[in-house]
Structure 1
């Protein structure tokens, strides 16, 4: 391709053949991506026949927005379709995914401000200004770590957080952005200033190890109740309720009797509530225009209503 007597070309000729500027060729050369074959007597760079293909490959890789260090690693690998390229592309896709998610959240947040009544804009700006884009679930996880029994096994805590902390949707509508912002604010300030966060009686009764058993059993019961919620079934005694009661029986080392169920119903009715948290979770996870998705909170309410109905019927 090069017509010089030694088969080499100057930096200007290489740039012309590749359709780039001399400055671009020099940039890649200075960073070791495009080695020169030799220097002329006057100290000018000279490039071999393979330089053009290498430069075109560099441009292709850079057009994918791969950073220079990643391009260098790919070029150092003999096969450009090898593992280094796959890893670099996968890493870049992950970065782009995060960037796109952040942009979609910012777009929905802007629409939220644009579409709300002027009197509400200051409050909404305050709420969404406290949430990163893409949003972090760290405040929600911290809220639950303060709520859960101290010294509960890490594996049990992680399993509970997986169902209690909603993942922000990748492509939210303004209502979901507002719900998540309100959820974030709730998690940061769940109680009045100076007040302690109330704990359920079950945490004190079961202890750390017992609570691990309790929450594992409750997860199963909530899943069964969620099936009934999706079917719009009214609360009723059945498999889900039996699983719910069994979780407390196992945690307390008790027996499942009518008296136990009556005592449990009274205890749960007196326990502190965080209904607002679960209401906001439902708004975050429910797709626009879709049916409200069950949450552990709504499942708990369904099961408690079934327990109340059963104990009331037994008393009558």
Structure 2
């Protein structure tokens, strides 16, 4: 109800004062968001100053993109500028972040199609058509779960996936969109025998040995990351020692000169995923910045360091 001597306005007068349309006022009023101060003798709605303030607040919230349920929760809160509003704004910010990320991926994909030679556009469109926008990393994770030894502990698997699966950038360049699309195509392509080729060490080590192997490799790759980033030549040292120790633990052996020679031969005969790591490096790259190390580039550096170490000891 209105206070004594409080002005009362018709729906049209309220709309005019708020700079809104009568249809807008009626919409919010029908949904119980605008308080009526009274009704005329003919049953027409009458509104007072609280309704004008409420209408201005509603339009501000709607202008920020808040949905009606969130607007209602804010209006029902005793403190209109309190935690309910803060929660609603945070939620909307997250939604906008997701929308902006989607738009950036679409824009980069459109640039990729526009700028490629006409005879390649059909192929690019097929690659891009298989991706969600922004893309999911789930196919890449499934690829690696099939690659890793069966029954490997969940914690070890999760730790490996964290470094092996590149996260799509929020604002990608066209070349990063293409690289991720090719990664998606590579990891979803069927294998002739139904399973990815795997290193021989997986079979030898078993689940427990594989967990030790990948924990040790993670340490070795972390140690090799700095020299890889600085493009330093491979060399023996702490990183190589950790690398060899990881394989020695998996094979149930010790780090000896003979084992290092044997390991180099075994690694040379292993199945490789070079193309995966090349594409992953593009996805992770920064314009004009140093190459970002990947498990693949760190492994290449460490293998070269192992060969150099063996040659020096021969």
- TM-score, L = length of structure 1: 0.93
Query: 1:96-144 CA deviation, whole Å, 9 max, x = no partner?
Result: 1111111111111111111111111111111111111111111111111
Deviation at 1:145, TM superposition (A): 1.0
**Which residue is equivalent to 2:286?**
287
Q: What SS class does the counterpart of residue 151 from structure 1 fall into?
A: coil
**Which residue is equivalent to 1:128?**
128
Query: What count of residue pairs does the alignment treat as equivalent?
Result: 313
Farther-moved stretch of structure 1 (8-17 vs 63-72): 8-17
Whether the 8 Å contact between 1:173 and 1:288 is mirrored in structure 2 is no
Provide the C-alpha distance between the structure 2 equivalents of 1:32 and 1:251, rounded to a whole number of angstroms.
68
Deviation at 1:148, TM superposition (A): 1.1
Query: 1:233-255 CA deviation, whole Å, 9 max, x = no partner?
Result: 11111010011112223334432
Alignment of 1:183-262 (within 5 A): 183-189=183-189, 191=191, 193-194=192-193, 196-262=195-261
Provide the C-alpha distance between the structure 1 equivalents of 2:216 and 2:81, rounded to a whole number of angstroms.
49
Farther-moved stretch of structure 1 (178-187 vs 199-208): 199-208
Alignment of 1:22-171 (within 5 A): 22-171=22-171
Deviation at 1:41, TM superposition (A): 2.7
Q: What SS class does the counterpart of residue 160 from structure 1 fall into?
A: helix
Deviation at 1:298, TM superposition (A): 0.8
Deviation at 1:264, TM superposition (A): 1.8
Provide the C-alpha distance between the structure 2 equivalents of 1:37 and 1:156, rounded to a whole number of angstroms.
65
Q: What SS class does the counterpart of residue 233 from structure 1 fall into?
A: coil
1:44/1:309 CA distance change after superposition, 3 Å? same
**Which residue is equivalent to 1:308?**
307
Provide the C-alpha distance between the structure 1 equivalents of 2:3 and 2:85, rounded to a whole number of angstroms.
33
1:130/1:163 CA distance change after superposition, 3 Å? same
Q: What SS class does the counterpart of residue 93 from structure 2 fall into?
A: helix
Q: What SS class does the counterpart of residue 166 from structure 1 fall into?
A: coil
Provide the C-alpha distance between the structure 2 equivalents of 1:292 and 1:43, rounded to a whole number of angstroms.
73
Provide the C-alpha distance between the structure 2 equivalents of 1:87 and 1:120, rounded to a whole number of angstroms.
47
Deviation at 1:27, TM superposition (A): 0.9
Deviation at 1:231, TM superposition (A): 2.0
Whether the 8 Å contact between 1:190 and 1:197 is mirrored in structure 2 is no
1:3/1:310 CA distance change after superposition, 3 Å? closer
Provide the C-alpha distance between the structure 1 equivalents of 2:194 and 2:28, rounded to a whole number of angstroms.
61
**Which residue is equivalent to 1:273?**
272
Structure 1, unmatched stretches of 5+, are none
Provide the C-alpha distance between the structure 2 equivalents of 1:285 and 1:141, rounded to a whole number of angstroms.
16
1:256/1:263 CA distance change after superposition, 3 Å? same
CA-based RMSD = 1.9
**Which residue is equivalent to 2:296?**
297
Query: 1:204-246 CA deviation, whole Å, 9 max, x = no partner?
Result: 2222222222212211111111111122211111010011112
Q: What SS class does the counterpart of residue 50 from structure 1 fall into?
A: helix
Whether the 8 Å contact between 2:234 and 2:304 is mirrored in structure 1 is yes
